[in-house]
Amino acid sequence: MGPPYLKDILEEPGNTHCADCSDKFPSFVCTKLGALLCKTCAEKGNKVVNEILEFELPPFYCRPWPGNTCPDFVREAFVHSKYDSLEFTNGARQRGDQSQYFCSEKVGILSKKVKKSLTFVDRKFQLLIDRNLFLYFFKAEHDEPKVSVNLDNMNIFFINEKEFELPPHTILVHFSDAGITHFWYLRSTTSKTIVNWFNAIRYGKYHRICLNSMTNRDISSQILSSLSHPTIVTGWLNKTGPKPRAAWRTRWCVLINRKLFYGEDRHMDEPNGEIFIGHESDHYAVVLGVHESCKRPAGPSFTLHTPLRMYALYAMTESEREKWVSAISKVILTPLSLDDYKLNRN
């Protein structure tokens, strides 16, 4: 039990969560700054403090989140920006401290994973927010882009490099073009560089939302979360084909928003297939077990029901099955947005 004054501080509004990642039950206090932090954020580096240090934290900026799905480099970059560079204090944008992500145009070099290879090569990228475009150039000296991606059709994610077996400071860019889904893996040598690119893209999407809204005075947290979902569900699952008694095949699966993508390896550039997951009112459901017509699964199984087909799947452990069933159930119980209806039509 700590000193009485510390107990009183913990009971103050806003002091029940980590000042950086919002995790519950902070374990450490920074006496210099008066900040309450969880164990993870304290090792890297509350209300009153955040009113100063986060006075101009942009609403689109992706801050660290609780749990082990948040990469360490995201926490490290945020701690550096918040406490060392003071990027979110009063007057920061006017001073130019946020110019690397609060900008209408950005150009630079990032390393991109080569298709069907684990090799990363340097490529030029350009973000044009006024034109709603993210451009990829094969060579730095080229003026014409090899690929132009509309920001409305693009999602970005921080990924766990250990789970994906990729170098650190890597993000996943997901978009569809001419009916084909693409996964790009982009990285930088420093955490700050890739985090700046990530938030610059989020600003572009946020800017687009503000333009299309009646007012940008009160952009809800639900709308902000649609900028780019910070986490995705990934892992190995075994699935069968549509025919009865079809063989089980191991697939790397990625759940992004309302789509479950699957492929033969965890570095897939173009998924082998994808499953749209709608709302329960449209006859979507997930249940434990598989139909008796399926070959016997070698692990805990479940079935994803859609209006057109049943997808039989199994995981290797009970905890893995619980992870997938819980994530898919959450999607099925969530009503579709206008963007979701467009996604389903595509």
**What ranges do the domains of the chain cover?**
4-54, 105-227, 231-344
Is the pLDDT at 324 greater than 70? The verdict is yes
Secondary structure E strands in the chain:
28-30, 35-37, 105-113, 120-128, 133-137, 147-150, 154-158, 170-177, 180-187, 233-239, 249-256, 259-263, 273-276, 285-288, 301-305, 310-314
Domains 105-227 and 231-344 share a fold: yes
Verdict on whether the full-model pTM lies above 0.95: no
The CATH class given to the 231-344 domain equals: mainly beta
Task: Please check the confidence at residue 230 and state whether its pLDDT lies above 60.
Answer: no
The pLDDT confidence band at residue 267, using thresholds 50, 70 and 90, is very high
Look over the chain and give the mean of its residue pLDDT values, rounded to a whole number: 88
CATH top class, domain 105-227: mainly beta
Highest mean pLDDT among 45-59, 219-233, 243-257 belongs to 243-257
pLDDT-derived band at 39 (thresholds 50, 70, 90) equals: confident
**Residue 32: which pLDDT band, with cuts at 50, 70 and 90?**
low
